[in-house]
Amino acid sequence: MTETTIGPKLTDERFFGELVNCTLHGLEEIPAAAAKGDYATCRRLFAAHVRESLRPDLYFTIPYEAPENKYTFDGETEEEAAERIAKHYLISVGVPHQFEGKVDWFANPTYNGYKEWTWQLSRCHEWKLLAHLYHKTGDERYAATFAELFDSWVKQAVAPEDDVNGGATLCWRTIECGIRMGADWPYTLFSFYRSPHFTDDLLVDWYKSVWEHGHRLQLNHRTGNWLIMEMNGLGHIGILYPEFKAADEWFAYAVKMLTEELDRQIYPDGFQFELSTNYHYVVVNNYMRLVRLARAFGRDLPEEFVRRIEFMLEVYVKLMRPDGCLPDINDGNAREVKKYVDEQIEFFPENKTFVWISNDRQGEGKPEYTSVALEQSGMMVMRDGWGENDTWGFMDVAPFGTGHQHEDKLNFLMHAKGKFIVTECGNYAYDVSEMRKYALSTRSHNTVRVSGMDQNRRVCYHWNEEDIRKPSGMVCRMENWFDYAAGVYDEGYGTCEEDTAFKDKDINDMPEGPAYMGAQHARSVLFIKKPGHDMEPFFILTDRLTSEDENQYEILWHVDAETVSASGLDVKADFLHVLVSLNDRKLDGVQIISAQQFPEWQGWKKGPTGIQGDDEPLPTVKYTTRGKSVRVVTVLYPGENCPIASVEASRNVDDTQFTLVLKDGTRLAYDEVSFRPEK
């Protein structure tokens, strides 16, 4: 256990003499007692005021929200978890650890020093679980466990100096400060505040610690989704803790920041600027947490909060796969859209599409559109219907995003016949493992590598505030019988590593540009929704690789299939058929890779949890071709029987024509120019 000053750092003299609003009923006698140095009386008076003035009748009108992150075992009941917690057997980021004696809040039992274990332990999810049980049962055992854990935490986790930021502190990262104040601690306080185990001294220490949180959140906030969590936490303090003189100032500051961030972080099409399906909802949910609290306690917030959040939730409907889940874009999660809609639908009862989603996509409210483009954030979804067995494709022409980015521009995903068949590695624990590096890299996505190198935007990435209004560069077209989307990657190739090298550097210390351009990659996707000839809807992708140098190009397709086999250069993966225009035996080849670790990781996907060590094999089709400038046309055809025999297309990047030869001899000639949007 780390030796340190015992917390909370805030003294009785300063707390009662400077920071408490002693004009409130029950606190009027504190100044006189503090002047005498009688802090025992101050504590008694303050605790009595809290127990008389808290409004659980208001707070518990807010629906209970279970804590986030992986802090319980699968299948474990709350009662079983509470018994385990009482024995100091705790779980953080899915990794359990048995503490001997008191909990050491600075511990890290992970095999590779995964810092998130220690950081996220201080989110105090266990306290909220104990509080929920106590609120339901009144069993003082839960209060006793909470009081012990809080006392050990507040004494060990001393608030850092004002200028300490980010990972320099194990227990006071500002993201944890925001989560504690805006999610877990309020429910804990309102549940336990009358318990005899929550003594006057502990209650005062709680309020001191909350004040230290408010002070830190106002001075040391970050950007992106962190800032939204931080300001939600600060707003909660401003509403729930009127005993602080700074409460109104903190509330106003939080509202001001959150209002400004709506324009700073949200693209005109509604996607949050980190472009992650996971952190998009982190932002949505933290706005709505504050909205719920403000409504319960009669505090005003801008109407724009709810209006803009509705627009953001609609992004999830637009992205939704036929199975009702999201694509796990960047550090995203393939969670059900219904879950997210259900959590917020009380605010949008007139939104017929949300009602349709909530009703398991039954009845009225199905969107009138099928395919849809998010043109500013650079994403297009192509679909031929909203049924579970309809065909869905996703094209990513997005900018790099401002956080949680993967090197995956021009990535393509496909869901058909009830299965997410063309998939990718997905998200993974935020450690420094080879699996994490793989998840971030181009080689874990369905796009192109150049001479063994990944896309490398990370090394010279800059975000400017005006970028939120810049066009993505995607071109698209949606018609009755086809959809078309296209984009270009021209930002350099190189080594993709975890984004730590430049994480804390000033923008002026960043490189000016990519270390090596390598090639330019242009990709177009054509979705033939009504192909005729008794064919299923299918996709045609054209990749143009342009370079002044001779390169080996790798075109990757991750297929979630039981059986994958190659016949020549054509591949069948369960019901998916992959046909390519490549036909030069000297220049072209195909491999099917699964669960490879050497010479580099390839052919993996995250397991069900995404925690450390939870990964599974994923068959990966790797096409290779050589040259300077090369065009490759690929057909992705879903269906047990594929009527297409071959794809004919020249390697010339300037050529726009290609032909599909059907097994019955029919030749279907296409010219890509006819599908492009008119200038």
- The predicted-structure confidence for 106-164, as pLDDT tens digits, reads as follows 999 999 999 999 999 999 999 999 999 999 999 999 999 999 999 999 999 999 988 78
Separation CA 635–CA 526 (nearest Å): 10
Average pLDDT over residues 421-440: 95
Domains of the chain, by residue range, sit at 12-265, 372-497+513-674
Please say whether the beta carbons of 329 and 276 come within 8 A. yes
Separation CA 631–CA 649 (nearest Å): 8
C-alpha distances out from residue 406 to 272, 394, 403, 439, 499, Å: 16, 16, 9, 7, 10
Nearest CA to 491 among 510, 515, 524?
515
pLDDT for the residue 376:
96
Please say whether the beta carbons of 436 and 498 come within 8 A. yes
pLDDT at 4 over 70: no
* CATH match of 372-497+513-674 with 2.70.98.70: yes
pLDDT bin (cut points 50, 70, 90) of residue 515 is low
Parallel/antiparallel/unpaired status of strands 372-374 and 95-98: unpaired
Model-level pTM?
0.94
pLDDT for the residue 508:
44
Residue 563 phi/psi, 5-degree rounding, is -125, 130
Separation CA 64–CA 292 (nearest Å): 11
Average pLDDT over residues 226-241: 98
Choice among 99-103, 507-511, 512-516, 662-666 with the minimum mean pLDDT:
507-511
**Residue spans of alpha helices (H) in 94-246:** 115-121, 125-137, 140-156, 174-179, 185-192, 200-219, 224-240
**Residue spans of alpha helices (H) in 345-463:** 352-358, 434-440
Nearest CA to 217 among 206, 207, 208, 228?
228
Coil, strand or helix at 386: coil
Give the list of residues 6+ apart from residue 22 with CB closer than 8 angstroms, or none.
28, 30, 31
Where does residue 341 rank: exposed (0-12), middle (13-18), buried (19+ CB within 10 A)?
buried
Please say whether the beta carbons of 269 and 376 come within 8 A. yes
C-alpha distances out from residue 20 to 24, 33, 154, 237, 297, Å: 9, 13, 20, 14, 21
Please say whether the beta carbons of 631 and 652 come within 8 A. yes
pLDDT for the residue 499:
42
For the chain, how far is it from start to end, CA to CA, in angstroms?
66
**Residue type, position 465, single letter:** E
Enter the tokens of residue 54.
């808290």
Residues recorded for the chain: 679
pLDDT at 39 over 90: yes
Please say whether the beta carbons of 26 and 45 come within 8 A. yes
Task: Render pLDDT for 360-387 as a digit per residue (tens, 0 to 9).
Answer: 999 999 999 999 999 999 999 999 999 9
Separation CA 542–CA 633 (nearest Å): 4
pLDDT for the residue 679:
65
Choice among 15-29, 164-178, 235-249 with the minimum mean pLDDT:
164-178
Separation CA 555–CA 558 (nearest Å): 10
Average pLDDT over residues 203-209: 98
In CATH terms, the superfamily for domain 12-265 is Chondroitin AC/alginate lyase (1.50.10.100)
pLDDT at 501 over 50: no
**Residue type, position 180, single letter:** R
Separation CA 321–CA 504 (nearest Å): 36
Average pLDDT over residues 298-319: 97
pLDDT for the residue 504:
44
> What percent of the chain is predicted at pLDDT more than 70?
96
pLDDT at 491 over 70: yes
Task: Render pLDDT for 268-302 as a digit per residue (tens, 0 to 9).
Answer: 999 999 999 999 999 999 999 999 999 999 999 99
Task: Render pLDDT for 541-600 as a digit per residue (tens, 0 to 9).
Answer: 999 999 999 999 999 999 999 999 999 999 999 999 999 999 998 999 999 999 999 999
pLDDT for the residue 514:
61
Average pLDDT over residues 30-48: 97
Please say whether the beta carbons of 154 and 209 come within 8 A. yes
pLDDT for the residue 460:
82
Separation CA 270–CA 280 (nearest Å): 10
Enter the tokens of residue 31.
């100044």
Enter the tokens of residue 358.
């909530």
**Axis crossing angle, helix 140-156 with helix 125-137, rounded to the nearest 10:** 160
| 635 or 4, higher pLDDT | 635
At which residue do the structure tokens 């009380």 appear? 346
pLDDT at 509 over 60: no
pLDDT for the residue 513:
55
At which residue do the structure tokens 């509705």 appear? 310
pLDDT bin (cut points 50, 70, 90) of residue 238 is very high
Provide the phi-psi class of 632: left if phi over 0, else alpha when psi is between -120 and 50, else beta.
beta
Please say whether the beta carbons of 400 and 578 come within 8 A. no
pLDDT for the residue 494:
87
User: Of all residues in the chain, what percent are helix, strand and coil, respectively (each to 5)?
Assistant: 35, 20, 45
Nearest CA to 2 among 170, 209, 119?
170
Separation CA 234–CA 218 (nearest Å): 7
pLDDT at 191 over 80: yes
Parallel/antiparallel/unpaired status of strands 493-494 and 392-396: unpaired
State the chain's mean pLDDT as an integer.
94
At which residue do the structure tokens 């259900």 appear? 342
Structural element, H or E, at residue 184:
none
pLDDT at 197 over 50: yes
Residue 608 phi/psi, 5-degree rounding, is -60, -30
Residue 368 CA, distance from chain mean position? 28
Separation CA 488–CA 102 (nearest Å): 56
Nearest CA to 368 among 379, 352, 391?
352
Cis status of the peptide bond prior to 599, with omega within 30 of 0: yes
Separation CA 23–CA 30 (nearest Å): 10
Residue 477: CB atoms within 10 A of its CB come to 17
